[in-house]
Amino acid sequence: MPVASSSRPQKRTRRAPSSDIEEDDPSQARQQQQEEVEMDEEEQPRRSKKSSKKEKKRMQQQDSDGEIAQDEEEDVPVPQLGDQPLDRSQAGKLRGISSDWGMLRDKVHLPGYNFIREVAASVAEFTEGEKGEKALTEIDTLMRELLDTEYELTAHEKVLDGLYQRLSTDEKIERVVDVYENGVQEQLEAYKHKTARQKYAKSDHYQKFKQAIYEVQHPDVAMPPLTDLIPREAGDDSDDEDELQIGGVTQDYKCPLSLTILVDPLTSKVCGHSYSAAAIREYLHNSRNQMKECPATGCKKQISLALLEPNKELAKRAKEASRRERAREEDSGDDEVIE
């Protein structure tokens, strides 16, 4: 027999969603969308601000490049002036180029003299025999090359100053490049044909260089004139000529007041004598403007604190002289003990 079945539909059950899977709530979706819009609105000004900064920087760079290009056009080096005639309106350009040569000499070249002098003094003190003499000869050659280079720098400056003076008097100069180069070449050729005495015997830098070596090798002995240290050549004046006599003095590193080695020396702008700072201040009663006679023997010049200036170079040399004197005393004491 057929089995009777129920006409009631069977009810299917669905498993409830897992607690870790949630359907998006419409309000939450709207809120998230609003937050994303707000973030985009905040990001947009930032991007715009960054873009404007980049644009501004690019425009400033272009302006700067334009200014540099303009400056380059205004400050034309002499060799690029060509054959165009120059008049008074362009005199300032030559004056500026002349100043550049002077600055190159003063800021870059001149400091080398102190360095060479210190090296020479150290070699004279610590290197003996044939090796030391050879080293000093090489340093002397380097010193002369520095002096030669200074003359060349000065030649450029002098020629440009001369051209500037001519333009300042309303003179027009044709073919300025040729005039400039020929003027420099004439000075260098004249210098090239000078003797060593004529080139270096009057140089204050060379005199100080030789003095630094001589006082190490011959302590407490006056250095002879430079003409005695530079061999005579054809074209030089006779050795009894007074015009080139530089030297013959002993470098004294003692204060004329304390009679001890100079400490923090101050040098007079009036007479060139130097004194230990503490001693001269006491002598002048710490008054900046009070005038008194220079305490150096034989000097009658009136000095004041306002006319004194620190001398760092002399202070360094005084310390070196003091060190060498102590070393000689120690060596002398060691010799007495051995005997």
pLDDT tens-place string over residues 131-183: 999 999 999 999 999 999 999 999 999 999 998 888 888 888 888 888 999 99
User: By the 8 A CB rule, do 257 and 275 touch?
Assistant: yes
Predicted pLDDT at 159: 92
pLDDT tens-place string over residues 236-251: 876 554 444 445 556 6
Predicted confidence band of residue 58 (pLDDT cuts 50, 70, 90): low
Which has more pLDDT, 89 or 116? Answer: 116
Predicted pLDDT at 171: 87
Predicted pLDDT at 13: 46
Q: Which residues contact 301 (CB under 8 A, 6 or more apart)?
A: 268, 270, 271, 293, 294
Among 36-50, 80-94, 96-110, 192-206, the minimum mean pLDDT is found in 36-50
**pLDDT value at 31 more than 60:** no
Strands (E), the chain: 265-268, 274-276, 292-293, 302-303, 308-310
The Cα–Cα gap between 319 and 116 comes to 18
Model pTM score: 0.58
Partners of 303 in the beta sheet? Answer: 292
Predicted confidence band of residue 252 (pLDDT cuts 50, 70, 90): confident
Structure tokens at 198: 């004529």
pLDDT mean over 73-101? 68
Predicted pLDDT at 238: 62
Predicted confidence band of residue 55 (pLDDT cuts 50, 70, 90): low
- Averaged confidence pLDDT in the chain: 77
Predicted pLDDT at 33: 54
Predicted pLDDT at 181: 92
Place of tokens 């056009």: 73
Estimate the crossing angle of helix 129-168 against helix 111-126, to 10 degrees: 170
Phi, psi torsion values for 303, nearest 5 degrees: -125, 165
**pLDDT value at 28 more than 70:** no
Predicted pLDDT at 268: 94
Among 83-97, 111-125, 206-220, 284-298, the minimum mean pLDDT is found in 83-97
302 by DSSP, 3-state: which? strand
DSSP state of 105: I
pLDDT tens-place string over residues 256-305: 999 998 999 999 999 999 999 999 999 998 888 889 999 999 999 999 99
Predicted pLDDT at 313: 84
How far CA 109 is from CA of 99, 102, 112, 151, in Å, comes to 14, 10, 6, 11
